[in-house]
Structure 1
Amino acid sequence: MGLREDLERFREVGEQRRPDLTEFIREGDLSGGDGDIRIPVKMVDLPGFEYSQRDMGGVGQGQGGQPQPGQPVDVPGDDGDDGDGDGDGDEPGEGEGEHGYYEMDPSEFAEELDDQLGLDLEPKGKQVVEEVEGDFTELTRAGPNSTLDFEQLFKQGLKRKLATDFDEEYVREACRVAGADARDVFDFCRGENVLVSLAWIDDAMGDVPDDERDRWASFDEMAENVERTPINQRIRRDGLKQVPFRREDERYRHPEVEEKRQKNVVVVNIRDVSGSMRKRKRELVERVFTPLDWYLTGKYDEATFHYVAHDAEAWEVERGEFFGIRSGGGTRISSAYELAAEILAEYPWSEWNRYVFAAGDSENSSNDTTENVVPLMRSIDANLHAYVETQPGGNTINATHAEEVESALTDLDNVAVTRVGGPEDVTGAIYDILSTEDGS
């Protein structure tokens, strides 16, 4: 491999802008993310030559004259260490290396996560933010002349022309039947499905010369000897002289009014902060909830997040403290859902998409899940209710909340229950939650 090929290989490695996204979610640093999401990138230094501008002497020139046998040689940059120092006396491992980051906005993150997990969540816009005028596709019976739909008017007139037109020559021959008057001709034409008026026949009979009034002995004889000319042939022969327009055929074009809807979402994140929620469990909650926040921010036009912490009681906190809180109290999960219901009352279901995500180690006070939490989950309108059980060491005998919720709400299609025992389960849990929402 030559130098050029080697340089290209290093460049390709250096241009790999981000690691595998699912690996980053499981193992990476999820801090930040209020704006763009910063994903660490492995940096590769390309090889190159460095030239010193100092006067190092000529070829074969030493410093201070020719050294005598046994005299140590002073090597530039050597400060008495093993010869690998940089002259500044830094200890091995001191200082910071160069780090790069790939900045990904939430919408790009959501698109990438969709690709990697095979998701297809298409949020619905609920809140009408404005009404806009679309194409001129609506037709009304009144309007300014400038919006008259002439094409529609012409079509209606042409239909009438084709429906009422008749072969005039054929009717004039019927007027030459011996002994027939206008009424006789009119009745004959109606029987032949020729749509001609009695007044027209009266006028036509007045134009028939006297010596031609008995050309045909009967209507049957006339019909056998005179062939009717189809309308398409008559139009080709004579052209279309006129199209009968009528006032009732007029239609005026108006723009179609379209409602522009904004895709809004409110997310209530709930976390158990009781004494049993130790550091490892809290970290697993953060690894699931943080990417969910990023994902929904990227999917919706406006995303609002509320964070509820609870032990035996519940209270709202800022995001910055949500994942680190730990108390010594007991656990009553229903207190968090009661607070979530109060929060969501400010976000009408008709205008907002709503998500309620809860996480904990599945330990709850006696009967609170079945008597309180389950009815509350049924009563709170939401796109999705999700519960994430974090038990790194496996379930304990009191960790029954997830199982009870799962069993009680099997009839609902907007409830997801998932379990996370370690970082390797995180992306699977995220998929379980989001795939429930997109119907996968």
Structure 2
Amino acid sequence: MGLREDLERYRIVGEERRQDLAEFIQYGDLGQSLPDEVRIPIKIVDLPSFEYDQRDMGGVGQGQGGTPDVGQPVGQPQPQPGDGDEEGQPGEEGGEHEYYEMDPEEFAQELDEELGLDLEPKGKKVVEEKEGDYTDLTRTGPASTLDFERLFKEGLKRKLAMDFDEEYVREALKIDGWGPQKVYEWARENHIPVSRPWIEDAYDDVPSDELGTWESIEQMEANVEQESTAARIRREGIKEVPFRREDERYRYPEIIEEREKNVVVVNIRDVSGSMREKKRELVERTFTPLDWYLTGKYDNAEFVYIAHDAEAWEVEREEFFGIRSGGGTRISSAYDLAAAILEERYPWSEWNRYVFAAGDSENSSNDTEERVIPKMEEIPANLHAYVETQPSGNAINATHAEEVESHFGRESNVAVAYVSSPEDVVDAIYTILSREQEAIEA
């Protein structure tokens, strides 16, 4: 195996040793990534190379101008870093890392594999209409688009429906005492598609000496065999097919609507005094992968970040996860602001919408039941989600998540997830995204 193969092998090993995606989401440094570039740490795998042994400093040398003469010792080896000197101790420094970079689309694919999902969102806004295959038909159009095959088939069906054994009917006209009217009635009863005028013309052509050839219809049928249409066509072929204008159809292309997959994600976070550092970190670990995932799934993704205590205000992403306020909590203020922003900037007819909120489930008295839940029902969205972050267990008044979950239940577009530690984050993401997949498949 040559050096080139060695390099490739070690590169593959390095990629395989990148952190497991779930481990990265739970414990990794999410801040190293950008909105359009996810950086997952990998352990460095040193590539093989030739080096001089720095400890092998003994031996003899030769030279002039102060360099040792032949046979003179060159001195004792000097201590080198990492050789056991007392200044450093093993394990004091962390392992080195490089990064495996993926775009949000690849991240979404890997997360789908990790969670066993296959979310395929639908486009909403029509951005282009183009012609597809000529599969639709109309009654008018250019001659060049006439569907002749269909026209021929319709004419052939009519030919077969109108065809009958003329000689067989002529024999019926020779029955003693039968005239055109009697033969016409007999033909109708036997589903022979012959017209009254044709029978009258044929009767006039029957020689007088042949009238009365048969004493009865039973005698005629016993002696004359009716030939089927299929047998007659095989014998004689088809001389003409009756075409009618009413059978004409013209092909025109199916109009295909190209829909852009637009999505807006509204991220809402409680920044009140009770939302301490650990709770804020759990919110970030849940919301950030969701943002990457939806960016990878949609053609165009936009994000709105709303912070709230007793009041709500829009913020930039850079400050969203770090804000902390000393105020109280009124979650409905955030939903009021979200509804106004969505109505003004992101019409439901053109945008897929996700409204994700997170906090420790503490809320002002009756706000959840009287204002938040009605507002969630009022805002059209692909999915509403609430993530409760309570590292130390539920507080006595932390009931918002339970109230929302109890009201909406499983049969809705509302997901509720509970996160008390980093180990819960991936399950929370699955809870949210699987609810969205159920809604799409329904």
Q: TM-score, normalised by structure 1?
A: 0.87
SS for the counterpart of 1:430 is helix
The residue identity in structure 1 corresponding to 2:42 is: V
On the 8 A contact 1:138/1:256 being kept in 2, the answer is yes
Partner in structure 1 of residue 375 of structure 2: 376
The counterpart of 2:240, out of the listed 227, 239, 242, is 242
CA-CA distance at 1:327 after TM superposition: 1.6
Residue equivalent to 1:24: 24
**Aligned to 1:345, what secondary structure does the other structure show?**
helix
Listed as ranges, the matches of 1:13-412 within 5 Å are 13-16=13-16, 18-31=18-31, 32-50=33-51, 61=61, 64-65=68-69, 73=75, 75=77, 78=78, 82-84=79-81, 99-178=97-176, 180-346=178-344, 347-410=346-409
- Please give the alpha-carbon distance, in whole angstroms, between the structure 2 residues aligned to 1:97 and 1:390: 31
Cα distance in 1, alignment partners of residues 367 and 9 from structure 2: 61
CA 1:363–1:183 in 2, change beyond 3 Å: closer, same or farther? closer
- Residues 60 and 70, structure 2, Cα contact 8 Å, conserved in 1: no
- In structure 2, give the amino acid aligned to 1:16: E
Q: Distance in 2 between matches of 1:191 and 1:424?
A: 83
Question: Conserved in 1, the CA contact under 8 Å of 2:43 and 2:95?
Answer: no
Query: What is the DSSP-based 3-state SS (H/G/I as helix, E as strand, rest coil) of the residue aligned with 2:41?
Result: strand
Q: Tell me by how many angstroms 1:258 deviates.
A: 2.7
Task: Tell me the CA shift for residue 20 of structure 1.
Answer: 1.0
SS state at 1:135 partner:
coil
CA contact (8 A) 1:17 1:102 kept: no
Change (3 A) 1:415 1:192: closer
**TM-fit CA distance, 1:313:** 1.1
**C-alpha distance in 2, partners of 1:139/1:125?**
27
What is the CA–CA distance in structure 1 between the aligned matches of 2:183 and 2:249, rounded to whole Å? 38
Give the whole-Å Cα distance in 2 for the aligned partners of 1:146 and 1:361: 69
- Match of 1:274, SS state, is coil
- Are the counterparts in 2 of residues 33 and 294 from structure 1 also a CA contact under 8 Å? no
| Larger mean Cα displacement after TM superposition, 12-21 or 362-371 | 12-21
- For the residues of structure 1 that align with 2:9 and 2:140, how far apart are their CA atoms? 72
Q: Distance in 1 between matches of 2:8 and 2:182?
A: 100
Say whether residues 1:429 and 2:428 are aligned partners: yes
Runs of 5+ unmatched residues, structure 2: none
Local SS of the residue matching 1:48: coil
The count of residues paired between Structure 1 and Structure 2 equals 424
Paired with 1:257 and 1:83, the residues of 2 have a C-alpha distance of 75
TM-score, normalised via structure 2 length: 0.86
3-state SS of 1:363 partner: coil
Residue 438 of structure 2 aligns with an amino acid whose one-letter code is G
Task: Return 376-385 or 94-103, whichever deviates more.
Answer: 94-103
Counterpart amino acid of residue 247 in structure 1: R
- The answer to whether the 8 Å contact 1:308/1:336 transfers is yes
Cα 1:155–1:46 change in 2 (3 A) is same
1:255 Cα deviation (Å)? 1.6
Q: Which runs of 4+ in 1 moved over 4 A?
A: 3-12, 90-99
**Alpha-carbon contact 2:147-2:248 (below 8 Å) kept:** yes
Name the SS for the 1:427 alignment partner.
helix
Where structure 1 has 5 or more consecutive residues not aligned to the other structure, the ranges are none
Distance 1:216 1:105 in 2: 92
Q: Secondary structure at the match of 1:378?
A: helix
Alpha-carbon contact 1:67-1:73 (below 8 Å) kept: no
Task: Spell out, residue by residue over 1:25-64, the C-alpha distance to the aligned partner (whole angstroms, 9 max, x if none).
Answer: 0111112322121112222012222379xxx99x964650
TM-align CA RMSD: 3.2
Deviations, residues 230-261 of structure 1 (Å, cap 9, x unaligned):
11111111111111111111111122223222
Matched residues in 2 for 1:187 and 1:131: separation? Answer: 58
CA distance in 2, matches of 1:334, 1:412: 23
Matched residue SS, 1:243: coil
Measure the CA separation in 2 of the matches of 1:319 and 1:178. Answer: 103
Of the structure 1 ranges 291-300 and 217-226, higher mean CA displacement relative to structure 2 is found in 217-226
Give the letter for the 1:50 counterpart.
E
Residue 12 of structure 1: how far off its partner (Å) = 5.0
